[in-house]
Amino acid sequence: MEFDVVIIGGGLVGASLAAALKSSGLSLALVEGQSSPTVVPDARDWDARIYAVTPGNARFLEECGAWQRMEMSRVQQVEEMRVFGDSGAELDFSAYQIGAAELTFILESRLMQAALWAGLQQQENLTLLNPARCAELSWHPDAAHLKLADGREIKAKLIVGADGRDSWVRHQAGMAETPTPYHQHGVVANFTTAKPHHGVAYQWFQPDGILALLPLPGKRVSIVWSVSPERSAALLALSHEALCAEVAAASQHMLGELSVITPPNAFALRVLNLAHLTKSRLALVGDAAHNVHPLAGQGVNLGFRDARQLAEVLLQRGTRDCGDLALLRRYERARREDILSMQLTTDALKHLFVNANPVLRTLRNFGLAMTDKLVPLKKMLVRHALN
């Protein structure tokens, strides 16, 4: 089998890239290890994987044909965000300050997955190879050669690695940079709340971790709690009632009593910064290309912006070989600043707040309070977050 572009990994970023290339004139294949995703219709059932999607990326998903396929009753707009320091300081962001309708949208991973895949299954220039497992990958001057575990062989002018943070493609390409662990775990779970959230997201910077409450439709929230591995293990070992009490206390009982919808889970946090996102006949996107701390909720947004940029480069390639390194480096250069900026910002905030130094404690809370008073700075930060 021969294709112009083979995307390995059919998660949110890989699927959105395939959808964005529907009018490219390129022959595409998407290799994914899982069966085609479907949405469980039970209204009581919520996905533990919750993402914040910026308005800019919501428009990208609409251009891909996915946004309009989603059940909007399961999508929650965030109109305000309140950030609390560990010594009384507070910073509020509001969409209305800059005349926007929302800061972000909160929605389930599987909702986006199913909407994207519904379009992919009808896409004329796309061959879906799933479930399928990759076995061998090699690069040659005229093409990349991929062998699947079932023996099928594929030639591609361009391989795109969209296969997640432990990317097989990245390792096959010899991009051996080692992720730097944060020695923290992200604990995630969904809850019902006694009080309405009114479309407000909350975040607490605490000496022992960072807690975010993301609003879901109705009286529901999703949490991401960045804590030490020991604290993570202790939280996972709690009964549901005890976990609710811990989260309610850490969130200053902002939304009243909580009840668990989805049991807690945890994943190790790390940062990955690659020297290059491309080589001849290869481009990396999403978590295969970079890892960031989840405190800003920007991991999937960086990935969608990767897909947007790579699609734009390929759509504007003219008659050039889509695996040409000089062409692919345009994508890499365009993405470098955004990725590095987000990594540096989240890394600095993590080290600034998860620190017991009393001088830093004073400075960080003073910084939060001052930023809240500087309206032009707040507007600039909000506009940047909308992309």
pLDDT tens for residues 256-265?
A: 999 999 999 9
Indicate the pTM of the whole model: 0.92
196 CB contacts (<8 Å, ≥6 apart)?
Answer: 219, 255
Rounded to an integer, the average pLDDT of 76-83 is 93
Query: What is the DSSP code string of 248-270?
Result: HHHTTTTT-SEEEEEEEEEEEEE
Rounded to an integer, the average pLDDT of 203-218 is 90
Residue 122 has a pLDDT of 96
Rounded to an integer, the average pLDDT of 154-158 is 98
In this predicted structure, which of 113-117, 297-301, 344-348 has the lowest mean pLDDT? 344-348
Q: Element (H or E) spanning 35, and its range? A: none
Residue predicted with more confidence, 276 or 345: 276
Residue 372 has a pLDDT of 52
The candidate with the shortest Cα–Cα distance to 81, out of 377, 302, 372, 374, is: 372
For tokens 């910084």, what's the residue? 367
Q: Is CATH 3.30.9.10 the right assignment for the domain spanning 76-105+181-267+355-362? A: yes
Residue 161 has a pLDDT of 98
Residue 45 has a pLDDT of 85
pLDDT band for 377, please (50, 70, 90 cuts).
very low
Do residues 353 and 23 lie in contact, with contact meaning Cβ atoms separated by under 8 Å?
A: no
CA pair distance 112, 19, nearest whole angstrom: 12
The candidate with the shortest Cα–Cα distance to 299, out of 284, 313, 289, is: 289
* Tens of pLDDT, residues 8-52: 999 999 999 999 999 999 999 999 999 988 766 566 789 989 999
Q: How far is CA 310 from CA 13, 188, 250, in A?
A: 11, 31, 41
* Longest Cα separation, the chain: 62
pLDDT at 362 over 60: no
349 burial via Cβ count (<10 Å: 0-12, 13-18, 19+): middle
Rounded to an integer, the average pLDDT of 351-361 is 55
CA pair distance 159, 278, nearest whole angstrom: 10
Residue 376 has a pLDDT of 57
Residues of each domain in the chain carrying CATH 3.50.50.60: 2-38+56-68+109-179+271-349
Rounded to an integer, the average pLDDT of 300-316 is 97
pLDDT at 2 over 90: yes
Q: How many CB atoms lie within 10 A of CB 235?
A: 20
pLDDT at 74 over 60: yes
Architecture category of domain 2-38+56-68+109-179+271-349 in CATH: 3-Layer(bba) Sandwich (3.50)
The candidate with the shortest Cα–Cα distance to 329, out of 272, 372, 275, 269, is: 275
Residues of each domain in the chain carrying CATH 3.30.9.10: 76-105+181-267+355-362
Residue predicted with more confidence, 85 or 123: 123
Quick one: what percent of the chain has pLDDT higher than 90?
75
87 CB contacts (<8 Å, ≥6 apart)?
Answer: 361, 362, 365
CA pair distance 78, 106, nearest whole angstrom: 7
| Sheet architecture: strand order including 104-108 | 50-53, 104-108, 76-78
* Mean pLDDT, all residues of the chain: 90
224 CB contacts (<8 Å, ≥6 apart)?
Answer: 186, 187, 188, 211, 212, 214, 294, 297
Rounded to an integer, the average pLDDT of 106-133 is 96
Residue 356 has a pLDDT of 57
Residue 330 has a pLDDT of 98
Bridge pairing between strands 220-227 and 209-216: antiparallel
Residue 359 has a pLDDT of 46
